[in-house]
Chain A
Amino acid sequence: MAFLEVKNLKVHFPVRGGLFNRKIDAVKAVDGVSFTIEQGKTYGLVGESGSGKTTTGRAIIGLNKITAGQVIFEGQGLTGKSSRVQKDVQMIFQDPYSSLNPRKRVLDLIAEPLRNYEKLTKQDELEQVIQLLKKVGLSQDSIWKYPHEFSGGQRQRIGIARAIALKPKLIIADEPVSALDVSVQAQVLNFMQEIQEELNLTYLFISHDLGIVKHMSDRIGIMYKGRFVEEGTTGEIFNSPQHIYTKRLVAAIPDIDPKKRSLQKHLRQEVQSEYKRSYHDYFDEQGHVYDLRNISDSHLAALPEKG
């Protein structure tokens, strides 16, 4: 039994218009996505802007209505109407500035999930919150402060404290560091790794920064226009990308070594021309992505049947 299994997930948003504001079209934000995540591992979800990463994450946690498909968490379906948010699945948001209500004190922020699910006395609650703060490395006098008194990295830690308050098993981290400066990013990424070990957490790590995903993930799924183009271990994706889109993505990452720059540029141009040349080999007539096919046991790519 897989820890989290997403089966053929579809999330469509209606586009309203016409005379009576009827649904005239749909944005297929996520259109048939399947993957599984193993416990204790980090699954990276990459793709360009608008490819449906966030929507996938939000659908799993129940913030977006699922149009079709299933999300099975520890053998239990989270699909359909019972989109009740599970204690076991929590989320870390992208922007630590806007994801904390500026009018609430840290105590109230962190205690919020506790108050929703656990009936604790004031004293117990306070103790728990202080424990959580310790865990995320904030001093206990922080509880009376307001979010704006913290730096971005510290805020993100408050966000994490909230997310782990209910001792979840799966955390969906939607671009947890993209709003942060490089120096602060490191802080948060390190902490996420530490806490993963400590609490045996599983991450669904969403980002468009391949470097970070590579750093964090065990497995990676590449999304394009609401579908997966490729899925595999980090090594497979970076060392032997199969789909042209993946190749292009990998090639586009600027290398930190200035000496390799002409090499990089060369590679990029090559991939680019290949992309142009063989576009129709990788996408069907309408420009849609094919279904995933196994390349190896762990490696899947959306290649046409013929090979």
Chain B
Amino acid sequence: MWKFIVRRLFITMPQVLLLSVLVFLMAQMMPGDALSGQIDPNIDPAAIEAQREKLGLNDPWYVQYVDWVGSALHGDLGQSFRHKMPVTDLIGQRLANSFWLAVATLILTYLIAIPLGIISGRYNDTLRDQLITGYTYIGFATPLFIFALVSLWVFGFKLEWFPTGGSVAPGLEPGTFPYIVSKLQHLLLPALSMALITTVNTVQYLRSEIIDTKQKDFIITARAKGAPESRVYHRHILRNSLLPLAAFLGFEITGLIGGTIFVETIYSYPGMGLLFMDSITLRDYSVVTSVVLLLGVVSILGVLLSDIILSMVDPRIRIK
């Protein structure tokens, strides 16, 4: 087991390295830097130039890269030019928000997908299944951003059921109960709209997985043992169909990252997606770099996690 994890980690290393080079070069190619935004007649351009020099913005790229990697390894992702604070701190706040959003979305996704997928797969080609399939079609055809926009408008503005921006109501003491409630309130609508759209893949996947499993020979074996339908479903079909979802988790996380860009932008939810969008327009490239790097690493870890989970639950690939 440990060997397997270590081995997987070894495969992960070059990926992370490659990722870091890629994002760094990308950032370098961007026109302008943070200081080119400081257009103020009262400020001496020479002072701006001096700042550039001081921040190392005029060094050759590889020097900057090595510097950056070196400090990144020490947990220092540099300084945000815009926010005048360590990127790590900046990301820290946002990451927590995005993390909770992702967790809520994942929970909702599975909360929706598993029952629907099961019903749809178990009673395939019945009215129930057709309704659920209809939903998956609609979910597929509705771009996330349209859905999020319309839900914001309906549930946020018109019905006022949910707050329309931010991650928490102002003035609450962190850690207190109202604070947590407010946090939940703020992430529910974004999470829900993301979940409702992204879940359709999972529903469909589960459905076809169940239909597949239903036709497997070992299901017949189970029936021949005299197992009642309910047991056949729970013990044999479900277990075997849910397992591949574990492998999905990793890609689900990659997908979530894309989704957060839309959802956080639309709901002004201060997470990584919004930070990314802000930073890219502000050319705060140490932040862009770090966000992409970090989320890339999260994706890599997501896939790693999937692999590990899968290798633990699936005896066929379990490591001796």
In the complex, A touching B, CB below 8 Å? yes
Contact residues in B for A19 (Cβ distance below 8 Å): 6-7, 10
Chain A contact residues (Cβ within 8 angstroms of B): what range? under 10
CA distance A20 to B7 in the complex (A): 8
Complex interface bits, B26-56 against A, C-beta within 8 A gives 1, otherwise 0: 0000000000000000000000000000000
CA distance A265 to B7 in the complex (A): 52
Contact residues in A for B6 (Cβ distance below 8 Å): 19
- Min CB–CB distance A205 → chain B (angstroms): 32
Complex interface bits, A14-27 against B, C-beta within 8 A gives 1, otherwise 0: 00001110000000
Contact residues in A for B7 (Cβ distance below 8 Å): 18-19
Complex interface bits, B2-19 against A, C-beta within 8 A gives 1, otherwise 0: 000011001000000000
Give residues of chain B (231-276) contacting chain A, Cβ–Cβ below 8 Å: none
CA distance A28 to B184 in the complex (A): 61
- Min CB–CB distance A21 → chain B (angstroms): 9
- Min CB–CB distance A23 → chain B (angstroms): 16
CA distance A19 to B7 in the complex (A): 5
CA distance A18 to B6 in the complex (A): 11
Contact residues in A for B10 (Cβ distance below 8 Å): 19-20
Q: Which residue of A lies closest to B10 (CB)?
A: A19
Q: Which residue of B lies closest to A17 (CB)?
A: B7
CA distance A18 to B11 in the complex (A): 12
CA distance A19 to B6 in the complex (A): 8
CA distance A19 to B4 in the complex (A): 9
- Min CB–CB distance A37 → chain B (angstroms): 41
- Min CB–CB distance A19 → chain B (angstroms): 6
Q: Which residue of B lies closest to A20 (CB)?
A: B10
Contact residues in B for A18 (Cβ distance below 8 Å): 7
- Min CB–CB distance B13 → chain A (angstroms): 11
CA distance A20 to B6 in the complex (A): 11
- Min CB–CB distance B152 → chain A (angstroms): 49
- Min CB–CB distance B248 → chain A (angstroms): 25
CA distance A18 to B7 in the complex (A): 8
- Min CB–CB distance A287 → chain B (angstroms): 22
- Min CB–CB distance A20 → chain B (angstroms): 8
Complex interface bits, A32-63 against B, C-beta within 8 A gives 1, otherwise 0: 00000000000000000000000000000000
- Min CB–CB distance B316 → chain A (angstroms): 16
- Min CB–CB distance B55 → chain A (angstroms): 40
- Min CB–CB distance A129 → chain B (angstroms): 40
CA distance A18 to B4 in the complex (A): 9
- Min CB–CB distance B311 → chain A (angstroms): 14
CA distance A20 to B10 in the complex (A): 9
Give residues of chain A (4-18) contacting chain B, Cβ–Cβ below 8 Å: 18
CA distance A20 to B11 in the complex (A): 8
CA distance A75 to B139 in the complex (A): 69
- Min CB–CB distance A177 → chain B (angstroms): 26
- Min CB–CB distance A25 → chain B (angstroms): 14
Contact residues in B for A20 (Cβ distance below 8 Å): 10
CA distance A20 to B8 in the complex (A): 10
- Min CB–CB distance A93 → chain B (angstroms): 26
Q: Which residue of B lies closest to A18 (CB)?
A: B7
- Min CB–CB distance A161 → chain B (angstroms): 36
Give residues of chain B (153-212) contacting chain A, Cβ–Cβ below 8 Å: none
CA distance A12 to B7 in the complex (A): 26
Complex interface bits, A285-299 against B, C-beta within 8 A gives 1, otherwise 0: 000000000000000
CA distance A74 to B14 in the complex (A): 52
CA distance A174 to B6 in the complex (A): 43
CA distance A290 to B289 in the complex (A): 65
CA distance A18 to B8 in the complex (A): 11
CA distance A15 to B6 in the complex (A): 20
CA distance A18 to B166 in the complex (A): 49
- Min CB–CB distance A179 → chain B (angstroms): 19
CA distance A20 to B9 in the complex (A): 12
CA distance A293 to B245 in the complex (A): 57
Q: Which residue of A lies closest to B6 (CB)?
A: A19
CA distance A18 to B319 in the complex (A): 12
- Min CB–CB distance B1 → chain A (angstroms): 15
- Min CB–CB distance A103 → chain B (angstroms): 25
Q: Which residue of A lies closest to B7 (CB)?
A: A19
- Min CB–CB distance B157 → chain A (angstroms): 56
CA distance A193 to B10 in the complex (A): 58
CA distance A152 to B206 in the complex (A): 37
- Min CB–CB distance B299 → chain A (angstroms): 22
CA distance A19 to B10 in the complex (A): 8
- Min CB–CB distance A65 → chain B (angstroms): 27
- Min CB–CB distance B10 → chain A (angstroms): 6
What residues make up the interface of B, taking CB atoms closer than 8 Å to A?
Answer: 6-7, 10
Q: What are 5 residue pairs bridging A and B, where the CB atoms are less than 8 Å apart in the complex?
A: A18-B7, A19-B6, A19-B7, A19-B10, A20-B10
Rank and list the top 5 A-B pairs by shortest CB-CB distance, nearest first.
Answer: A19-B7, A19-B10, A20-B10, A18-B7, A19-B6
What residues make up the interface of A, taking CB atoms closer than 8 Å to B?
Answer: 18-20
